[in-house]
Chain A
């Protein structure tokens, strides 16, 4: 039965001591490791502030002080999110973190980065202010030039707000969950030179 295989597969690949471990390898003790969790924490603030904005409506923050504060939380958490994610990404590159059959962990992380740019971009398009007017006017040429504009119309506010609050967060959320679960299942990649003694060289 496929449900049994799914349960057994989950138990074998992601038991609770891998999902929520109480120890980590000794090498997981560098500042660079903070940026992955900091990215996720920023995403948490983005989702929280974004949900609040979604419930109040796209124009709420123009006339409400509370709304402006929540919008500012959304704005600054996005800025943090990208800073942390870029440092995390560069860190993982220089650590060659795809080693040890972790290629898909890298791939899902990179896709999450691209999906984040798309999500943030649609957010800038629904600010309902001068900036969003200009960005939609300017960006349409890029998308139109390769035919994408025929389906993804940046000047269509209704389409952009639905993509920003429904479709793209769902895509980003699913990719992020897969990425994190892969990190937990595979474990944190060991240092590049960790096995030099065992292998008898530095190559």
Chain B
């Protein structure tokens, strides 16, 4: 009964002492003060804006890495080629126990690394004689032969630490020339547009560019240098000396601790992305429903921080 009476009193319109108040004045004052503070910080510090990485930049700065990545795309050994849903069916992807949610949702953004990343872009430019011949040879061959050539060359290149000059002769078909053709195209700056457009005029989807960029080491090295990797709280960091998305600290936190920081740990580390999304979904729901959670909802009564908040009122009312 006492509980009901307390709720009734807390619900009812306040009948105790009041003080003058002007909501509009408070709002306008807050808006002016915040605007001035924000303008001051903007003038003093500006905002982060590290230039985007282009394929031209990658190809010029790290040609061996670009070349090897192009070969991996042809051989189907790149990260994207073996990713699974939503890009392809090469693997089942991560799981939550028996649940393969990505696989269940299917291939909604199909990516064919051979054609989307290498062959189609090469067909959009006038290639040199050898590259044009190589392209014809590739396109007139069956997929089994193409796969054999690309895998042979990918393995050979890996063995010599991606140094194409040291690859022994072998059954590679046109693969070295195709990779060289794509490198030349990237160095000239024409691959960026070709990857985005994929034969269309209007295009706003950067999925293929981003995936290709991420398959190489260059992009990852740049992010490591900027402390943006997941194992260094990457999602909440920002380039330069600027605050990032600090509100993602709890999401990033899980990636720093066992078992989620060990990709070899099964089932949690190897499927960390899915488990952490699940944990964060549950915690977000917990935040929204916090007043309904026994124990948690009692904390404000057990740890009386409210005595500090309403210190003056309690003193004035002898409470």
Residues of B within 8 A of A178 (CB): none
Interface residue B142 (Cβ < 8 Å from any Cβ of A): no
Q: Is the CB of B309 within 8 A of A190?
A: no
Q: Which of chain B's residues have a CB closer than 8 A to the CB of A171?
A: none
User: A75-113 interface mask toward B, CB cutoff 8 Å, 1 = contact, 0 = none?
Assistant: 111011010001000010111101111010011001101
Count of chain B residues with a beta carbon within 8 Å of a chain A beta carbon: 108
Q: Taking the complex as formed, is B168 at the interface, i.e. its CB lies under 8 A from any CB of chain A?
A: no
Q: Cβ of A198 and Cβ of B49 under 8 Å apart?
A: no
Known contacts being A20-B23, A137-B219, A192-B300, is A147 close to B49, with CB within 8 Å? no
Indicate the member of B2, B204, B213 with the most A CB atoms within 10 Å: B204
Is B239 a contact of A28 with CB atoms below 8 Å?
no
Chain B residues with CB under 8 A of A61? 47, 49
Contact in complex: A25, B277 (CB < 8 Å): no
B53 touching A133, Cβ below 8 Å: yes
**Residue in contact with A41 in the complex, picked from B34, B228, B291, CB distance below 8 Å:** B34
The contact of B235 among A44, A113, A135, by CB within 8 Å, is: A135
- Tell me, yes or no, whether B146 is within 8 Å of chain A by CB: no
- Provide the B267-309 mask, 1 if CB < 8 A to any CB of A, else 0: 0000101101110000010011111100001011101111101
Chain A residues with CB below 8 A from B39, complex form: 73
Provided the pairs A96-B297, A199-B2 are in contact, do residues A130 and B239 lie with their beta carbons within 8 angstroms?
Answer: yes
Contacts of A40 in B (CB 8 A): 27, 30
Beta-carbon contact of B41 and A72 below 8 Å: yes
A145 and B42 form a contact (CB under 8 A): no
Q: Is B165 positioned at the interface, with any CB of A under 8 Å from its CB?
A: no
Q: Which residues of B contact A103 (CB under 8 A)?
A: 291-292
Count A-B contacts at CB 8 Å.
310
Residue among B33, B49, B246, B301 with the highest chain A CB neighbour number at 10 A: B49
A123 to B248, CA, bound (A): 14
Contacts of B304 in A (CB 8 A): 192
Interchain CB contact under 8 A, B46 and A147:
no
> Separation in Å of the A153 CB from the closest CB of chain B?
6
* Bound Cα distance A128, B206 (Å): 11
A-B pairs, 8 with minimum CB distance: A158-B204, A100-B10, A72-B42, A147-B101, A145-B273, A150-B105, A98-B291, A41-B30
Interface residues of A (CB under 8 A from B): 20-30, 32, 34, 37-38, 40-42, 44-45, 61-62, 68-69, 71-77, 79-80, 82, 86, 91, 93-96, 98-101, 103, 106-107, 110-111, 113-114, 116-117, 120-121, 124, 127-151, 153, 155-159, 161, 186-187, 189-199, 201, 203
